[in-house]
Amino acid sequence: MSDNLPAPTPPQPRNPLHGLTLEAIVTALAAHYGWDELGVRIPVRCFTHEPSVASSLKFLRKTPWAREKVEGLYLFMLREARRQGHA
């Protein structure tokens, strides 16, 4: 048996991002806001110039500050939906 196995990830029941892929987050945001509004809310090229999930994932995976903004907007979207009784 190997001793360098990663420790099991502790459960995160209060983390709404736990278990979600970046692709699922980007897809949900694009469906909710549309690419135009997404580009206004987070003005990065992958949302404003020929946007697609694939190009967005490529950029966001290597740009931590942009990924944080996307995750923050996703959490905001969830809070707004809950506040309006849609969740």
Mean pLDDT (whole number) for 43-60: 96
Cβ atoms 28, 20 nearer than 8 A: no
Mean pLDDT (whole number) for 49-78: 96
Task: Report pTM.
Answer: 0.80
Strand, coil or helix: 85: coil
Q: Which residue has the tokens 């990663």?
A: 6
What CATH architecture does domain 22-83 belong to? Answer: Orthogonal Bundle (1.10)
Confidence check: pLDDT of 8 > 90: no
Q: How far apart are CA 84 and CA 36, in angstroms?
A: 23
Domain ranges of the chain: 22-83
- Express each pLDDT in 12-42 by its tens digit: 667 888 889 999 999 999 999 999 999 999 9
What pLDDT score was predicted for residue 13? Answer: 64
